[in-house]
Structure 1
């Protein structure tokens, strides 16, 4: 076995993008993971800050990842440069993925014209983009639609995590939106009633390039709901099962590379059939079992 010092130096010097491509790039394409009768293949893009890790200059390490809606497999990850933000890392993250026919979901930070146009024209992909007040003109257009006159297209009720939640979706064809390829406007209203607390209401607006004939209200609702798979099945698991936020690494590429390795282990366990990652980790505590898990002879 290599000495611990050797491993530390290796993790610090390895190119973080090359390691992510090597360990995460062999995952099945999103189109092979989704059921044909479902809402269609989709990938969620979301960022995660490693709260304990620091760069040499003291700034926190922030990673932007892409995960499949079905299965929660991380298929790509890049580190966001300390002098920029997630928006500038959006295209480098997705550039190497075959996204033809795949719907990409993301939060309002990435709802910018350049990214949406690039997805449709260069990657032949689709998008469901959340719109907030950082795009004031578009937000005002969506909020000003006559939603009271538009019928409810989809309703979903859930109970779990100590709360009741109801989600109501309305969709309208809106060809006048001043954003690339946008054809439908979406409004999702969420009512939450946490146990022992006052109920709350939240309204979220979104746009998509897919017309109503190819993206039904039920499919749009599913994409919006499944977007959080990356948070629940990737980010949360890395924190709780692998203690990522407790890591205080500071040396060069070590924080990003260890995050990639954690995600590669999670991916392999999920593809092996483990529903709960802690169970999979307990079944692979010896070097031999760990090598077998990853297909090494």
Structure 2
């Protein structure tokens, strides 16, 4: 059942531009959260069959000849397509429209320059698990965004999981380095754990299954248990046991914590280069 408070915060009308994997997943979450499908439009030049079926089944206007004015315009196209689409997008947004962008590397200033007259802009950076409603999204709003518009953006973004609001847009690059790219770090951990299992003598397919289930299970426990990650690690580590032996290697000065700091710093630098 939809949360009444979340439903009341959702924009009364919405246009989604770009219904690919992320945009489509977010649309499904909004509908489940109570978004009115009859006041929703989707613009996508090549919609996937699933989007076509979803729109037909829920009464959503898909690529209408005339896109009605909406309270919120959600941009989920590829970042490199912004310039080509700018003229068409500008016709969909007015001074009272809330624009929510998940275009990586495109700043609030970039969006305002291409959408003249738009004032309320929310720049968001979701990550891949948002496609299953378990994402971590960072967001920052332009100063002109009203409290009601920010609440509407928050309700939309929370359909994809956790939302953290930033006061400084410059922090988006650091957030990208942690949560935006973070799922790939976890996938690499699962790969490396499976490879280590093979090196220890396990059959490759078994090692892959064990690594996948271990990472997924540990993540689920971290999500559900109130203890922080450090406490969980300490609680599972018996003195002089096997886990302590492994952690002695992983936590040495050149081990995992140092590598993770170096990796996040590299991603942070690259995010700045891409958005600059």
Q: After TM superposition, is the score higher than 0.5?
A: no
TMscore range, shorter length: under 0.3
Structure whose residues are more often helix by fraction: 2
TM-score, normalised relative to structure 2: 0.28
- Larger of the two Rg values belongs to structure: 2
Tell me which of the two structures has the higher relative contact order, counting C-alpha pairs closer than 8 angstroms and 6 or more residues apart.
1
Structure whose residues are more often strand by fraction: 1
